[in-house]
Structure 1
Amino acid sequence: MGLHEILRRTESVTAVDEPAGALARTIAKILPRKAAELLRGSWLGHPVHPLLVTLPIGAWTSSAVLDCLGRRTAARQLIGLGLAAVPVTVLAGAADYPDLTTAQRRTGVAHAAVNSVATAFLLASYVCRTRGKHQAGIALSAVGLVTLSIGGALGGHLAYAQGGGVYRYQEPPFVRHTEPATAS
Structure 2
Amino acid sequence: MSDRQTAAKRPVSALLTGPYGHPFHPVLVTIPIGAWVASFVFDIGSRAASDASYLVRSSEWLIVIGIVGALAAASVGLLDFFTLPSGTRAFRTGLIHLTLNVAITLAYAANAWWRHGEEDQVAIGPVVLSGVSLVALGISGYLGGKLAFRYGVRVAEEQDQAEGFEPRS
Same fold (TM over 0.5): yes
Instruction: Give TM-score scaled by structure 2 length.
Output: 0.74
* Residue-pair matches, total: 141
Instruction: Give TM-score scaled by structure 1 length.
Output: 0.68
SS in 2 for 1:165: coil
Q: Could you tell me the percent identity over the aligned residues? A: 36
Structure 1 residues without counterparts, runs of 5 or longer: 1-32
Shift of 1:110: 0.5
Higher helix share: 1
Which residue, out of 125, 135, 138, partners 2:127? 138
SS in 2 for 1:145: helix
Residue 103 to residue 66, structure 1, CA distance change in 2 (3 Å): same
Structure 2 residues without counterparts, runs of 5 or longer: 1-11, 47-54
Which residue, out of 144, 148, 158, partners 1:159? 148
Residue 178 to residue 144, structure 1, CA distance change in 2 (3 Å): closer
Residues 100-120 of structure 1, C-alpha deviations (whole Å, 9 max, x = no match): 243211110000011111112
Residues 46-76 of structure 1, C-alpha deviations (whole Å, 9 max, x = no match): 1110000000000000001111211111011
Q: Given residue 78 of structure 1, which amino acid in structure 2 is its aligned partner?
A: L
Is 1:54–2:30 an aligned residue pair? Answer: yes
Residues 83-132 of structure 1, C-alpha deviations (whole Å, 9 max, x = no match): 11122110111121222243211110000011111112211111111143
Matches within 5 A, 1:1-184: 36-42=13-19, 45-70=21-46, 71-101=55-85, 102-132=88-118, 134-135=122-123, 136-167=125-156, 179-180=166-167
- Of 115-124 and 147-156, the range deviating more from structure 2: 115-124
Q: Given residue 16 of structure 2, which amino acid in structure 1 is its aligned partner?
A: L
Distance 1:121 1:60 in 2: 12
